[in-house]
Amino acid sequence: MRRDRAGVLLALPTWATLGVFFLLPLAILFVVSFARRDTYGGLKPIGDLGAYLASGKFLEHYARSLHPIYLKIFWRSLWMAVVTTLVCLVVSFPAAYYIAVVARARRRPLLLGLVVVPFWTSFLIRTYAWMFILRTEGLVNHALLAAGLVHRPLELLYNDFAVLIGLIYGELPFMILPLYASLEKLDRSLLEASADLGAPRAATLRRVTVPMTMPGIVAGIVLVFVPSLGQFIVSDLLGGAKTILAGNLIQNQFAIARNKPFGAAVAFELTAAVLLLLWAYARYTRRRGEDVLL
């Protein structure tokens, strides 16, 4: 009994914070997504709630979000998030493997520090830095021209490529860290046993290392995929006007188009998609957990 009460007390700050800063705004967003917008960007008062609900007009923003032009934006957000996640996974696995398994134990804190060090600078500033690297008079083009590899500067900025670079760059640490955590826990003698039984390195990777670090891989995928889906700074700065993502669409509704209900509806759809994904992830880990316990 006492333990239960202590548990409730300990969880209270978390629940209070989540309630005030997450659940409450989400609830407001949810209500707003069914509201009407007035001419000046505010919310139009609804006189007869019963009639409003009966008319079905409260769903107009959700209906609008299914318009092909928005579906195209969602589709673009989705594949960019997928590509970002895949590239991060492919790049991070060797890096995390090196830090966790190959590097000497006393070098590990330094290498992990290098992964985390970009967080000391604001993400906005780091994204601006990419503009300096990628623009026509930027570092990359200067180097390519100086080396005589190209005669005209390449258009590296303000396209999907630049946005992907920015997304991958920004999300990379969120893939490396969970992969590191699970690789570090991996029992080395399992790798030795695999080699001892005749498996070449690639086979050990495929049959032992990857299956054994699956929880880390899944965690990394979730940690990278979810924020990529809602990103708007990167596409705003590096994508120019051409590359609009779901994140930009939402931001535009609130900041420029002044259509809060529509922005809220899209934001809520995105949140629902992410929650669905997290639910699937929780189910996956629970199933694995049961496997381990049995």
Partner 1 sequence: MSTVSAVEIRGLTKRFGDVAAVDAVTLDIRAGEFFSLLGPSGCGKTTLLRMIGGFELPTAGSIRIHGEDVTRTAPYGRPVNMVFQHYALFPHLSVGENVAFGMRYHGVPRGDEPRRVAAALALVQLTGYESRRPDQLSGGQRQRVALARALALEPEVLLLDEPLGALDQKLRKEVQVQLKQLQRSLGITFVFVTHDQEEALTMSDRIAVMNRGRVEQLDEAARVFERPATEFVATFMGASNFFDVFVRGGDAASVSIELPGGAAARLPREGREWNAGERLRFVVRPEKLDLRTHDLSTRGVPSVPVTVEDRVYQGVGTVWLVRGPGGEAFSVYEQNERPDEGARFAAGARAFLCFRTRDAILLSTAGDR
Residues that bind partner 1 in the complex, under the rule CB under 8 A: 187, 189-190, 192-200, 203, 207-208, 211-212, 291-292, 294
CA proximity to 34, closest of 247, 262, 270: 262
Residue with smaller CB distance to partner 1, 155 or 192: 192
Residue with smaller CB distance to partner 1, 93 or 268: 93
Query: Cβ of residue 133: shortest distance to partner 1, in angstroms?
Result: 42
Query: Cβ of residue 95: shortest distance to partner 1, in angstroms?
Result: 24
**Quick check: 223 and 178 in contact, CB under 8 A?**
yes
Judge residue 62's burial from the number of C-beta atoms within 10 Å of its C-beta, 0-12 exposed, 13-18 middle, 19 or more buried. middle
Alpha-carbon distance 55 to 63, whole Å? 14
Residue with smaller CB distance to partner 1, 113 or 200: 200
The set of residues, in sequence order, having a beta carbon less than 8 Å from that of 27 and lying 6+ positions away, is none
What is the CA angle 128-239-26, rounded to 5?
A: 90
Alpha-carbon distance 117 to 111, whole Å? 10
**Quick check: 41 and 258 in contact, CB under 8 A?**
yes
Residue with smaller CB distance to partner 1, 151 or 188: 188
Residue with smaller CB distance to partner 1, 84 or 204: 204
**Quick check: 84 and 166 in contact, CB under 8 A?**
no
Alpha-carbon distance 215 to 213, whole Å? 6
How far is the CA of 213 from the CAs of 104, 160, 179, in angstroms? 20, 32, 7
Query: Cβ of residue 209: shortest distance to partner 1, in angstroms?
Result: 11
Residue with smaller CB distance to partner 1, 102 or 147: 102
Query: Cβ of residue 225: shortest distance to partner 1, in angstroms?
Result: 24
Query: Cβ of residue 190: shortest distance to partner 1, in angstroms?
Result: 5
Query: Cβ of residue 193: shortest distance to partner 1, in angstroms?
Result: 4
